[in-house]
Amino acid sequence: MVHRILRALCAGWDNRDVSWDEAFADLYEQWSAPMSADVPFYCRLATEADGDVVELAVGNGRVAVPVALATGSRVLGIDTSPAMLEQARAQAESAGVDLDLRLGDMRDLALERTASLVYCPFRALLHLPTWADRRRTFERVAASLRPGGRFAWNAFAFDHRVATELDGRHQERPVPHTVRYAVGDNRVDITLDTGARSSLWWATRNEWLGLLDVAGLELEALYGGFDGEPFADDSREYVFVARR
């Protein structure tokens, strides 16, 4: 019943959340299983925060639940997917933690009070297709942070060798799927064998830094991985921490 109600609410939106097929949620737990190194990283940032913690694109609570356990505090999680929020509620209940889960779009982030930490894990900012979408999100995050508050996220660094290896090839892990690259649009389309699809739009380091600049945020650190390794020419992951 809740699922149908939330779907009805989404039907009234302006359909900007086109990069995510709701059916992708059915296999999301298996899809996200290989990504685990980010959890301790975001937990550490959350334990260092001296106020509210917010997760953008909270998904099934994969990160938010451990963060709530680590901090002993409520985590506010926002997502456009009703199905993912249902999974997150179930995960929170099972773990005995308190998540404030809200159906919403990160481009419209508006908080009742400013936060100490806003983070966006698992490359979820790449679901935003345009510069305007990302600029709006960064500006909303900046407005939602208290002075000295942090914004953290990760995203893959485009590697043409990886694209050549994966483009158009069917893969069995972590779930059966096919990846296709649309280089002219900086886009990656992921299609599960079930037909569910998700799209990502990659960005360069300078594009990310430009977003920080226009939003009035300052770079604190750029790592090449979740263990704090320096970002180098051969790094394949951006791990950013910025401050207001």
The Cα–Cα gap between 94 and 82 comes to 19
pLDDT of residue 2: 36
Q: Which domains does the chain have, with CATH numbers?
A: 2-243 (3.40.50.150)
Tens of pLDDT, residues 126-137: 999 999 999 999
pLDDT at 169 over 70: yes
**Residue 18: its pLDDT value, please?**
55
> What is the spatial distance between Cα 186 and Cα 41, in angstroms, rounded to a whole number?
27
- The average confidence (pLDDT) of the chain is 93
* For residues 209-219, average pLDDT: 98
CA quadruple 4, 9, 10, 11: dihedral sign:
positive
Using the predicted structure, report yes or no on whether residue 11 has a pLDDT greater than 90. no
* In the predicted structure, residue 17 carries a pLDDT above the cut 90: no
pTM recorded for the entire structure: 0.92
Is residue 190 within 8 A of residue 215, CB to CB? The reply is: no
The H-assigned helical ranges of 12-118 are: 28-32, 38-48, 64-71, 82-95
**What does the pLDDT average to over 160-165?**
96
Q: Using one digit for the tens of pLDDT, what is the confidence trace for 41-100? A: 999 999 999 999 999 999 999 999 999 999 999 999 999 999 999 999 999 999 999 999
